[in-house]
Amino acid sequence: MRKIRTAAGLFLAAMVAASLMAAPATAAGRQDAKWFGTGSGKLTLVHGVPGANGFPVDISVYRLAVGSQVFEDVTFGTVAGPLELRSGIYRVAIREAGAPRYSSPILSKWLWLGSGANMSVVAHLKADGSPTITAYRNDVSPTGGDARVIVRHDAAAPAVDVLAGRTAVISGLRNPNQAAIEVPGGTYPISVTPAGAGYANRVFGPADLEFKANKVTIVYAVGSLAGGSFTPLVQVLPAG
């Protein structure tokens, strides 16, 4: 990202969230925070739409009745965040880099970011290659000492299998669905194949990926299989 433009009065990250989270809260207070937007949540932004020169875009994150911050010149393959934002109703809008700030976006999505929520918003291609935007909730609950792996199919590609070695650990995953597994922490040779096609017909891998104990590793499969831009983007979040 080249820079961040922030609307007046909008310090949605760190300072506001930290001051709110530092204050003691009763159970009733936590319920009020959840419904009335006085707590904070976390939001990750993912640019998974390929294009010329990385298809640079501007991404605005607008909070209803407050204002917006704009991330400029975000290119394909960027995983930004998690941002810590005050809970509330948000609109995530994506425009071509340099487009007027209030012009019609290419893609947009309204979402409710509740107190304590952890979400990802992904701009990506549908299976047929058309662009879309999908919001996911990130499961960052305790893993009991294992590693949680979440795979999200956000690419212009048919259903896929995910293999560890030559064994399918996730089967028939379709765009824009996700699947989660928990495994002992360690490094695994990961491949991706069209569903049912077998190891010899892999479209990605094998690549050694490390999955750490007590961490959540999110793999976003983005790009286009036919266009040669199919690639996994990896994000690691703490669990618990």
pTM value is 0.83
Question: 156 with 170, same domain?
Answer: yes
Task: Please check whether residue 189 is in contact with residue 206, taking contact to mean a CB–CB distance below 8 angstroms.
Answer: yes
CATH of the domain at 192: 2.60.40
CATH of the domain at 19: 2.60.40.1120
Q: Is the pLDDT of residue 30 over 60?
A: no
Question: 125 with 38, same domain?
Answer: yes
Pick the residue with more confidence: 46 or 102?
A: 46
- Among candidate residues 138, 153, 179, the one where a domain is terminated: 138
Average pLDDT of the residues of the chain? 86
Model confidence band, residue 32 (pLDDT cutoffs 50, 70, 90): very low
Question: 164 with 49, same domain?
Answer: no
Model confidence pLDDT, tens digit, residues 162-194: 999 999 999 999 999 999 999 999 999 999 999
CA distance readout (Å), 70 to 12, 13, 17, 222:
12, 13, 19, 23
CA distance readout (Å), 96 to 4, 59, 104:
15, 9, 10
- Among candidate residues 100, 123, 138, the one where a domain is terminated: 138
- Among candidate residues 79, 106, 138, the one where a domain is terminated: 138
- 177 φψ region: left (φ > 0), alpha (ψ -120 to 50), beta (else): beta
Question: 86 with 160, same domain?
Answer: no
CA distance readout (Å), 141 to 75, 81, 191, 216:
30, 18, 26, 9
Structural domains of the chain, count? 2
- Domain around 143: 139-240
Question: 134 with 145, same domain?
Answer: no
In DSSP terms, 166 is beta-bridged to none
Question: 93 with 133, same domain?
Answer: yes
d(CA 53, CA 169): 34
Both tokens assigned to 214: 């007590």
Task: Please check whether residue 133 is in contact with residue 92, taking contact to mean a CB–CB distance below 8 angstroms.
Answer: yes
Residue 64 has a pLDDT of: 83
Question: 197 with 120, same domain?
Answer: no
Model confidence pLDDT, tens digit, residues 59-88: 999 998 888 999 999 999 999 999 999 999
Pick the residue with more confidence: 6 or 155?
A: 155
Residue 37 has a pLDDT of: 52
Model confidence band, residue 38 (pLDDT cutoffs 50, 70, 90): confident
Q: Please count the other Cβ atoms lying within 10 Å of the Cβ belonging to residue 35.
A: 11
Question: 112 with 153, same domain?
Answer: no
